[in-house]
Structure 1
Amino acid sequence: MKKFMRTRGAAPDAPRANGHANGVAGELRYDDQHSTLSRCCSAAGAAGARWEDAGFAPRAALGRRARAVRWLRPHELCARPRFMGDAELEGEAEGGAGEADAGEAHEAGEALGAAAGEAAARWRCAGAGGAALRGLRAAAAALAGTPRLLARAVPPHSFRRHYTGAFRFRFWVFGTWREVCVDDRLPVRGAHLLGSRGALPDDFTLPLLEKAYAKLYGSYAAAQASERAGGGLARALQELTGGVLQSFAPPQQPRALLYQVLAAAVPRSTLLVATAAPEKENGTRRLRNGLLAGQAYCVTGLARVRGAAGDAAEAEGGGALVRLLAPGGRGLWAGAWARGGPEWRALAPADRDLLARRAPLPGHFWMSFADFARAFGRLELVHVGPDDWLGEPALHGRRPWRAVLARRRWRAGYNAGGPPGARAAHCNPQFQLSVPRGAAGRCHVVVSVTQQYAPGGAASRLLAIGFAVYELPADAAPRRAALAPPAERLRALDVTHESRAREVATFFTLPPGQYLLVPHTRARAEAAFLLRVLTDDHTDVWEVNDDNVIIRDFASVYAEMGGNVPPDIQANIAKVLGQWPPDEAEGAEAELEAAQLRAAVRRAGGGRALAAALLALRDPAARARLPARDLPALLALLGGWRRAWPRGACALPAERLRALLWAAGARASNKVLEALVLRHAPAATLRRAAFLLALARLHLAHERFRALDAKVKSNPISLEEMILMTIYT
């Protein structure tokens, strides 16, 4: 597994790799030379026709609700429609060609506030229709403060320049950015849009984003059903940012834990989005404390004041103030520590001025930590990777995360061992995390496991997933412990509750030391997963693996025995060699036919395939003959393999293959072991004949690699590649 942090930035409008999961599929290209759709749309625009999306027809988008619905373009609904890209064009036209205004520096704050208000109005609904997606709308409004992140998911388009009727959006789906292209025909019933309409009457960014989101899920109804299933805001935040996401319910969390989460997340490149209460069906409503239920508030700061009324213990956030940003300045807090309240007058002037300077933008307000824990029903944490931190200037004042990712999959019989406590839990994928002794204090760590999913798929298709964190002893060997399950030898620091969700994530702190991360799912369940590890300090993360090694070479087995051949092997040799005259059998050039070797292997418990593999070990010229002097060593080696198999067992679970290989004098890497299970253990069941054949093929691959390595100075094939090729021959 590769650990990296990018240091080279990309173009502002290019999709970034985000350091952990956003760059798994590489950067996408959207120019006309690489996109057939772009050329088609350009040609349609030149001819005067507008592109129509045949892949998202009206009946597919709305189903039965498509009756009595007209699909109109923005130009048919408004004289001068706008998208996010048109605002920049208008600013260029008004600003002139590079002439500087004398009062530009003085008016920068007002301009920033006006821009923030306009951005918030773009995502504020002016009257939701039946197809409104409230979680998506709230997520886009929360990301207005990080315009580069938002522009990756919602690239600027224009109704003024190069308009073809096609609009592209990007959503993060299981580690890759998926492009969704829709036309700008919107569903209208009567004189109203069926979806959301932004507070800016001529801006169509929100309804077009909703249409693209509905296409991602298959229809408007499927997107709405996904929101109703739970986590509408959280899911939309992840699909728009690609970050690692955690959800909390502040009223249900211990105050000390909630304060630790805020204190650790606020200084780092983590977006914190809080909502006051679940949104009602009739839209948002103002609460008695001034907040708007359902509106997304961004947590932007944390401070501690002296002498605050009702202070609790410092560890539980006593005397702490939380700074939040209300989109567009709507729904400001009206309780304690509101602007102009008596709490501010009780502060020292220096402290009051310092807190005021820390909340310069319109819409910022302070509230006590205790009020925050009571007033907000949900808190979403979006941990942003290092590449996004580099590309988003709004995050440069925060400390970036370091990121590690690994794409793996659980396979039945190989590494789907089940949750901790299961019989085969030690077979699960294992990743070692090393926090160096030089790390300052404790290292903040975020671990996330995401299983493969399909947008709009039923939640019942998701597996119950989780992960466990174990503390390793200081002298732990950097290899898999195949014979002793970790749960029996190690102390578990944290075991997540299995959740039938797309992603499970935990935010915790670790002192310097060695740790083991073990993702798990249901025993013998198969699914791909993405592991992401974020740390705020230098750490090393790698997958625990074994080397491909043959401990007992067949050429040395007979020599180590000193000629003391076991009676059963000696009798088998006598039956084969007894068919020849004594002078020929003892000759140096005596050779066995393939049929004679098959008979000997059959008496030793093997079959035709095993005999062919053993013959290939000592027949490099492919003459189908074996020197008679090599027969005792081969049969002795075969006898050692048979002794590694439990006596009396006809078949064993495939999860025991690694331990059996160790007992037979061989070690295999994770990839080789997976290939052996797929090739020799159908239905995750291993039989003795298949086990012996797997060992013979491993020995054959090692022999071929040594022969090739001796002939070629710069061997382009690795040992693992040679083994994988040999397994499937």
Structure 2
Amino acid sequence: MMNPQYNLPGVMRPMSSKLFVDSAFPASVSSLVRGRGTPLSSLCDSITWLRPQEICTSPRLFPENPRDGLGKQGILGDCWFICACSALQKHERLLNQVFPISQPIWTDPRYLGQFTCRFWHFGRWVEVTIDDRLPCLGHKLCFSHCHDQDSFWLPLLEKAYAKLHGCYEALWAGQVADALVDLTGGLVERWPLGVGEDSNQEQMFNRMLELKDTCSLSCSVLHCREGAAELGEFHAFTITDIKWVVTNGSQKLLMLRVHNPWGRSTWGGYWGKSGEGWCVICPEVSSQLQSQIQEGEFWVEKTEFMQEFNEVTVGFPVSEDGYVLSIWTDFPLIYTQQMYGSWVKGQSAGGSRNNASFSNNPKFWLRVREHSEVYLVLMQRPHHVSQAIPKIGGVPQKETEPNKDTLHAVGLHVWKVEKRKFNLKKTLLSPPVVGTSSHSYDRQFHLHCDLSPGYHLLVPSTFLRDTEGNFLLRVVSTGQVTLSEMVPAHPVVPVREDVTQGNWDILKIQGEWKKGKSSGGSRNFPSYHLNPSLPFNVPSGCRVVRVTLQQHCQEDKCLAIGFHVYKVPNDKHVSLLSGKPCASCVPHCHSLEVSQSYALTPGQYILVPSTYLPDQESGFTVTISTKIDRKPIQSQETLGPILKEVCVVTVMK
């Protein structure tokens, strides 16, 4: 884990008044709490903000011994995030992706008091820059910190994650699986303990033993057993090692070493510090195992582990080439496709298969070109509500917490079809080849399957009809696949027309996509309405309309661009962009120019040019050429120099 580029030797740079101060995430109560619905609110007035060189004399990012980088929780209830950070301790590639290398630290003359971290946020990597002022109580870090308290990678990463979520309080309670996805951009599985046949449980532990060195492994207590409160309810732990030992009676036992983010030894079970279990193995092995534990760690045997813990969370490993590896076959999942979508009330929120409106849900084609191991991933964007019940492990807590994001129950089903021309109603009434057995409130889940070559129909859904939300559909596979959205039943079909021939009226419109203002991204994003809306008219007698979108950039720096055309309805109160476009130039292309011709009926239209991702900046020019059927003028007059006539030039600011 520990990259030497981070810990450069040198003399501590003195404090400077020119150090970076993050005004977007200030050292104030607003960065600590918002709703004041957790115990953290009562401590806000006592918290001070200090830079690492004010906390200790020799701050560094990482300790020399990776084991000293294990995290302790502090007074913030984010054990789930701290456990997920163990994935970065096992993969230097992931660490460098989340914590970019060569950032100047406290011994570097270039040190400016700021750090940048990256998180995988709803389908793309985003950067979060913070200053290094950290919350403290009595000159000591009050939130997460490492066993080596002079190492600051974890509290800095925690601060960046808190900024991404709005404040530290937003990290109070969560899922290890969600944090693993945010830190790796990969896949995660949750395995319930004590559920299913003994053979499946045995297979699970054997697989954990094989994955222990490459995967992030954690376990959670969701319902603590009576008399075992030392583990804590709704609490997550990190599994730091798994190994076989042999008892004095030649019996094999599978032992798991577990780390408690509380950072203190609270386990008093059969294999606790003074437990009876150590008497059944030879003193030499007993001494060796006990010498390996740090403060907060303990050993537990498999049977007792299954009694005390409720589930295991497994983060998929990543190859040296950056590919996610299947935890079941070890094959690299080298092909990735993803698309965004929305469930819209009255249009595409058809609910579960229990509803007759199920066919209204968004539908996608997956073309599998060779027999492949495939993971179909559905990720929903949490929706913001004014009050919600916080959860960990899917179990609500007793306190209510304002300003919390909540999740819908969602599912995904897949049908194999022989060809793209098929009977939709008949297909959806037949059993799917794979699908969720029940709709899940997980932020992300996946279906694991082996798919044969051909076309497959994918239908993501919410459990309740007319439930609105946004989602990301991802496909990762061992073989080549193509993911696309099913087109509307009666789209406007593009036509071929030569713009150099005939009589054309030309409208040119210049504009720009600007971050936070007019760069809303594609229709898959809720910010789509921020894009420029350009009106134009199709007159009577028009045969063809040709739309050309050109971006102003160098050819090697092209953004993915496209556009949609909407017919203005007679009822002006209808929300235009919430409906389906009558014509489109998609998928978005990394090209300087995209162009398409359509046969549009006379009337008023709106054209919406967009980049595929939001917050991308560029200028653009739209050219709308309208071909009019009219006879050429016969005249004996002699004309002067030819003028290039432009109807209107509008500059979008």
TM over 0.5: yes
CA contact (8 A) 1:467 1:519 kept: yes
- What is aligned with 1:169? 117
CA contact (8 A) 1:70 1:188 kept: yes
Alignment of 1:253-652 (within 5 A): 253-259=196-202, 271-275=215-219, 277=221, 294-298=236-240, 372-384=305-317, 389=322, 398-410=330-342, 412=344, 415-427=348-360, 428-432=362-366, 434=368, 436=370, 443=373, 445-453=374-382, 462=406, 464-472=408-416, 476-477=418-419, 479=420, 481=422, 484=425, 486-491=427-432, 493-506=434-447, 508-510=448-450, 512=452, 515-521=456-462, 522-535=464-477, 537-538=478-479, 540-543=481-484, 545=486, 615-617=541-543
CA contact (8 A) 1:426 1:485 kept: no
How far apart are the structure 1 equivalents of 2:600 and 2:493?
A: 22
Aligned residue for 2:439, secondary structure, equals coil
Q: Which amino acid aligns with 1:145?
A: K
Aligned residue for 2:378, secondary structure, equals strand
CA contact (8 A) 2:335 2:479 kept: no
Q: Once structures 1 and 2 are overlaid, which stretch shifts more, 364-373 or 255-264?
A: 364-373
**Against the structure 1 CA distance between its residues 167 and 420, is the aligned structure 2 distance closer, same or farther, given a 3 Å change threshold?**
same
Taking only the aligned residue pairs, the percentage that are identical comes to: 21
Aligned residue for 1:533, secondary structure, equals strand
The count of residues paired between Structure 1 and Structure 2 equals: 477
**Against the structure 1 CA distance between its residues 455 and 423, is the aligned structure 2 distance closer, same or farther, given a 3 Å change threshold?**
closer
**Can you list the C-alpha shifts for 1:17-49, whole angstroms capped at 9, x where unaligned?**
xxxxxxxxxxxxxxxxxxxxxxxxxxx999753
CA contact (8 A) 2:384 2:405 kept: no
CA contact (8 A) 1:435 1:513 kept: yes
**Can you list the C-alpha shifts for 1:476-500, whole angstroms capped at 9, x where unaligned?**
11x2646525321444532342234
**Against the structure 1 CA distance between its residues 723 and 257, is the aligned structure 2 distance closer, same or farther, given a 3 Å change threshold?**
farther
How far apart are the structure 1 equivalents of 2:113 and 2:309?
A: 41
CA contact (8 A) 1:149 1:388 kept: no
1:297 Cα deviation after fit: 0.5
Q: Which amino acid aligns with 1:410?
A: S
How far apart are the structure 1 equivalents of 2:200 and 2:544?
A: 66
- What is aligned with 1:74? 52
**Against the structure 1 CA distance between its residues 222 and 490, is the aligned structure 2 distance closer, same or farther, given a 3 Å change threshold?**
closer
How far apart are the structure 2 equivalents of 1:503 and 1:723?
A: 39
Q: Which amino acid aligns with 2:80?
A: G
**Against the structure 1 CA distance between its residues 480 and 380, is the aligned structure 2 distance closer, same or farther, given a 3 Å change threshold?**
farther
- What is aligned with 1:24? none
How far apart are the structure 2 equivalents of 1:728 and 1:149?
A: 44
1:450 Cα deviation after fit: 0.9
Residue ranges of structure 1 left out of the alignment (5+ in a row)? 1-11, 15-43, 89-114, 288-292, 310-318, 346-351, 555-611, 621-670, 702-715
How far apart are the structure 2 equivalents of 1:472 and 1:302?
A: 44
1:296 Cα deviation after fit: 0.3
1:533 Cα deviation after fit: 2.3
How far apart are the structure 1 equivalents of 2:423 and 2:179?
A: 41
**Against the structure 1 CA distance between its residues 406 and 261, is the aligned structure 2 distance closer, same or farther, given a 3 Å change threshold?**
farther
Check if 1:117 corresponds to 2:80: no
Residue ranges of structure 2 left out of the alignment (5+ in a row)? 6-12, 34-40, 389-403, 496-537, 547-561, 586-592, 608-653
How far apart are the structure 2 equivalents of 1:275 and 1:388?
A: 28
Q: Which amino acid aligns with 2:187?
A: V
- What is aligned with 1:178? 126
Check if 1:207 corresponds to 2:176: no
How far apart are the structure 2 equivalents of 1:553 and 1:450?
A: 33
How far apart are the structure 2 equivalents of 1:117 and 1:55?
A: 34
CA contact (8 A) 2:350 2:466 kept: yes
**Can you list the C-alpha shifts for 1:320-347, whole angstroms capped at 9, x where unaligned?**
95876869999899769x99986899xx
TM-score (norm 2): 0.57
CA contact (8 A) 1:447 1:534 kept: yes
How far apart are the structure 1 equivalents of 2:236 and 2:597?
A: 58
1:145 Cα deviation after fit: 1.9
- What is aligned with 1:644? none
**Can you list the C-alpha shifts for 1:453-491, whole angstroms capped at 9, x where unaligned?**
479996676552533334425xx11x2646525321444
**Can you list the C-alpha shifts for 1:338-357, whole angstroms capped at 9, x where unaligned?**
99986899xxxxxx9xxx9x
How far apart are the structure 2 equivalents of 1:618 and 1:675?
A: 14
- What is aligned with 1:49? 18
- What is aligned with 2:165? 217
**Can you list the C-alpha shifts for 1:546-583, whole angstroms capped at 9, x where unaligned?**
699999999xxxxxxxxxxxxxxxxxxxxxxxxxxxxx
**Can you list the C-alpha shifts for 1:567-610, whole angstroms capped at 9, x where unaligned?**
xxxxxxxxxxxxxxxxxxxxxxxxxxxxxxxxxxxxxxxxxxxx
**Against the structure 1 CA distance between its residues 552 and 546, is the aligned structure 2 distance closer, same or farther, given a 3 Å change threshold?**
closer
Check if 1:135 corresponds to 2:80: yes
Q: Which structure features the higher share of helix residues? A: 1
Check if 1:62 corresponds to 2:40: no
Aligned residue for 2:171, secondary structure, equals helix
How far apart are the structure 1 equivalents of 2:152 and 2:427?
A: 55
Aligned residue for 1:484, secondary structure, equals helix
How far apart are the structure 2 equivalents of 1:388 and 1:553?
A: 41
Check if 1:244 corresponds to 2:244: no
Aligned residue for 2:85, secondary structure, equals helix
Q: Which amino acid aligns with 1:469?
A: H
1:150 Cα deviation after fit: 2.6
Alignment of 1:643-662 (within 5 A): none
**Against the structure 1 CA distance between its residues 49 and 279, is the aligned structure 2 distance closer, same or farther, given a 3 Å change threshold?**
farther
**Against the structure 1 CA distance between its residues 463 and 83, is the aligned structure 2 distance closer, same or farther, given a 3 Å change threshold?**
closer
Q: Which structure features the higher share of strand residues? A: 2
Q: Which amino acid aligns with 2:597?
A: M
How far apart are the structure 2 equivalents of 1:194 and 1:534?
A: 40
- Structure 2 residue aligned with 1:160, among 94, 97, 107? 107
CA contact (8 A) 2:220 2:310 kept: yes
**Against the structure 1 CA distance between its residues 403 and 81, is the aligned structure 2 distance closer, same or farther, given a 3 Å change threshold?**
same
Q: Which amino acid aligns with 1:238?
A: V
- What is aligned with 1:94? none
CA contact (8 A) 1:13 1:155 kept: no
**Against the structure 1 CA distance between its residues 189 and 339, is the aligned structure 2 distance closer, same or farther, given a 3 Å change threshold?**
closer
Q: Which amino acid aligns with 1:400?
A: P
CA contact (8 A) 2:415 2:458 kept: no
1:615 Cα deviation after fit: 4.0
CA contact (8 A) 1:385 1:403 kept: no
